[in-house]
Amino acid sequence: MIVRSCLGDSDDIEIRHLHIFNEFQGVIIYYTTLVDTLSIYRDIHKPLMYKPRHLEDKSIHLDNLMDTLMNETLYISETARVSDGADILDAITEGSTVLLIDGIPGGLVLDTRQIEKRGIEQPQTEHSIRGPKDGFIEVLDSNISLLRARIKVGDFRIKIVRIGKRTKTRVALCYIESMANPKLLKEAEKRLSKIDIDGILDSGYIEQFIEDHPYSPFPQVQNTERPDKATASILEGRVIIMVDGSPFSLIIPAVFNQFYQVTDDYSERFIMGSLVRFIRLLAIVFSLIFPALYVSIISFNPEMIPTDFAVAVAGGRAGVPFPAVVEVLLIEVSMEVLREATLRLPQQIGGALSIVGVLVVGEAAVGAGFASPITVVVIALTTIGSFATPAYNAAISIRMLRFPLLIAGGMFGLYGLMIGLIIIMNHLLFLDSFGVPYMNPVTPVSKQGLKDSLIRGPLWSFKKRPSHLHTLDDDRLGYEGVPKAEPVLQSNKQGE
């Protein structure tokens, strides 16, 4: 048999011959590890053994057999007739059952796929205090259902393409047709169609092929494992890319301010959300420049700090055999190694290692004269500040840029630090994501976008969608004006 020769001698391939209605010769082919065997017995085997009651007295011609099976016999909801041999093989390898009948070209594809999956749980990398607790999993159909449950409109579209010559991974484009910019959709489909690789195992593979500036340290595609965050992006007019086998979806286009925003900012009242967001952004900037600023001042401009503090710093560094820049570099590298080791260790002992590393190793380094106490404090504060970055890929960018800034500050002082910051800012202004300026809405200035950048304005002030997305439907809010408090419960007399 041709199918057997193509599929080989795998032990999990099942080829079962049967007599359809005791008249026609047929065979069903499926992988036992990918299908629901109970469904095959109940919905395929049993119906094919005998004719339906209303057809018992009628003869079925071979030419009409396929239509009779699809429309009046089989209990499988998703059936399709295929004629190409390659389509038949693809259907089998994806978990479908194929029915072949002697004398009829092609076959009938029956959806009986059943793949083991984990339950929907709280996202591991994007925790929220107030908001939904469900997260994406590795099954594409389940992830699409999480979006469908939230977006209940008829023009919510899902376009699925297959990427990978050997894995043939399903990749889904999710968007609202009456809202998303057609040019954005066309560009996304174009970039996906150009991907020619043997396999796609995660959405990170797709991200590396579709980003505009692959050599930039800053990510130009945002990823999330939160369905509510993906839904909010779709409602803004963005496009979501989901990959079968990955719990992370991609959001395009992405701008810089998206990477320090979290869903809690919108669940809380705008005053608290704005305050927390401002503190978060301050911590990100602090973690980027604090080590370089410390080295610059200590090495080149100690007159900028109070005398008493300068004396204390000098006393703490009296026994340290390294220059300040070398000392900070060594502690920084040690902290990064400790952080990476904590991430890769089992969860049960990862927390214990981080505590031991911070307390014991830090105290031992100071006691041995390897580092000064003020340096350990600076690196500790910097590390804590880097944890405030919600997006992991953006946090890595900040951590990586600390080292060239640190070296520039150690070689040229504050002048080198400022030159480094100017280079980083110029680079940010140069970047774009699918044609959208990376620093939008700061430049070009967008009045509507500034309401959701450094601070988070009230939800009732977001009357329009982000202007840089050029959506087909700009109106976001139909409510006009600021809500006014009106007395509901009043008493005319005291005590009533």
Contact 406, 295 (CB under 8 A): yes
pLDDT of residue 242: 96
Same domain, 193 and 82: no
pLDDT of residue 42: 87
Same domain, 365 and 424: yes
Long-range contact pairs involving 47-52 (C-beta distance under 8 Å, separation at least 24) = 47/73, 47/74, 47/75, 48/18, 48/20, 48/21, 48/73, 48/74, 49/18, 49/21, 49/22, 50/21, 50/22, 51/21
Higher pLDDT, 397 or 448: 397
Cα-Cα-Cα-Cα dihedral sign, residues 373, 378, 383, 384: positive
Banded model confidence at residue 175, pLDDT cuts 50, 70, 90: very high
Q: Given its phi and psi angles, is residue 434 left (phi above 0), alpha (psi -120 to 50 degrees) or beta? A: left
Peptide bond into 444 cis (omega under 30): yes
Q: How many domains does the chain have?
A: 3
pLDDT tops 60 at residue 452: yes
Contact 347, 398 (CB under 8 A): no
Same domain, 328 and 364: yes
Same domain, 12 and 106: yes
Same domain, 9 and 104: yes
- Which residue has 């404090």 as its token pair? 377
Residue 419's CB is within 10 A of a number of other CB atoms, namely 14
The answer to the question of residue 473 being in a domain is: no
The pLDDT of 229-257, averaged and rounded, is 94
The sheet with strand 249-252 has its strands ordered as 156-163, 169-176, 239-243, 249-252, 222-224
Contact 69, 81 (CB under 8 A): no
Decide which of 436, 453, 487 is a domain's last residue: 436
The pLDDT of 264-282, averaged and rounded, is 89
pLDDT of residue 358: 66
> At 437, which amino acid appears?
P
The answer to the question of residue 477 being in a domain is: no
pLDDT of residue 453: 85
The answer to the question of residue 362 being in a domain is: yes
Its domain, for residue 400, covers 269-436
pLDDT of residue 492: 56
The pLDDT of 82-99, averaged and rounded, is 86
pLDDT of residue 323: 87
Same domain, 311 and 231: no
pLDDT of residue 64: 82
Q: How far apart are CA 61 and CA 75, in angstroms?
A: 21
Banded model confidence at residue 347, pLDDT cuts 50, 70, 90: low
DSSP 252-308: ES--GGGGG--THHHHS-HHHHHHHHHHHHHHHHHHHHHHHHHHHHHHT-GGGS-HH
For the entire predicted model, the pTM comes to: 0.87
Give the model confidence (pLDDT) of 59-89 as tens digits. 888 888 888 888 888 888 788 888 888 888 8
Longest dimension (CA), the chain: 106
The answer to the question of residue 480 being in a domain is: no
Give the model confidence (pLDDT) of 379-431 as tens digits. 888 888 888 888 888 889 998 999 999 999 999 999 999 999 999 999 999 99
pLDDT of residue 268: 87
Q: How far apart are CA 338 and CA 321, in angstroms?
A: 23
The answer to the question of residue 475 being in a domain is: no
Among 169, 174, 18, 171, residue whose Cα is nearest residue 99: 18
pLDDT tops 70 at residue 329: yes
Same domain, 248 and 277: no
Contact 124, 347 (CB under 8 A): no
Higher pLDDT, 492 or 180: 180
The answer to the question of residue 119 being in a domain is: no
pLDDT tops 80 at residue 357: no
pLDDT of residue 383: 84
Long-range contact pairs involving 80-83 (C-beta distance under 8 Å, separation at least 24) = 80/108, 80/109, 81/106, 81/107, 81/108, 81/109, 82/106, 82/107, 82/108, 82/109
pLDDT of residue 130: 84
Same domain, 193 and 273: no
pLDDT of residue 401: 93
pLDDT of residue 397: 92
pLDDT of residue 344: 76
The pLDDT of 197-202, averaged and rounded, is 92
Long-range contact pairs involving 131-137 (C-beta distance under 8 Å, separation at least 24) = 131/228, 131/263, 131/264, 131/267, 132/226, 132/227, 132/228, 134/227, 135/225, 135/226, 135/227, 135/247, 136/225, 136/226, 136/227, 136/230, 136/242, 136/247, 136/248, 136/249, 137/247
The pLDDT of 334-363, averaged and rounded, is 71
Q: How far apart are CA 282 and CA 487, in angstroms?
A: 39
pLDDT of residue 359: 67
The answer to the question of residue 27 being in a domain is: yes
Q: How far apart are CA 5 and CA 483, in angstroms?
A: 71
Give the model confidence (pLDDT) of 106-119 as tens digits. 889 998 888 777 88
Contact 86, 20 (CB under 8 A): no
Same domain, 164 and 55: no
Q: Length of the chain, please? A: 496
pLDDT tops 60 at residue 366: yes
Banded model confidence at residue 377, pLDDT cuts 50, 70, 90: confident
Same domain, 420 and 285: yes
Higher pLDDT, 419 or 327: 419
Instruction: Write down the mean pLDDT value for the chain.
Output: 86
Give the model confidence (pLDDT) of 123-170 as tens digits. 888 888 888 888 999 999 899 999 999 999 889 999 999 999 988 999
Same domain, 216 and 361: no
Decide which of 393, 408, 436 is a domain's last residue: 436
The answer to the question of residue 248 being in a domain is: yes
pLDDT of residue 192: 95
Same domain, 300 and 417: yes
Decide which of 254, 280, 304 is a domain's last residue: 254
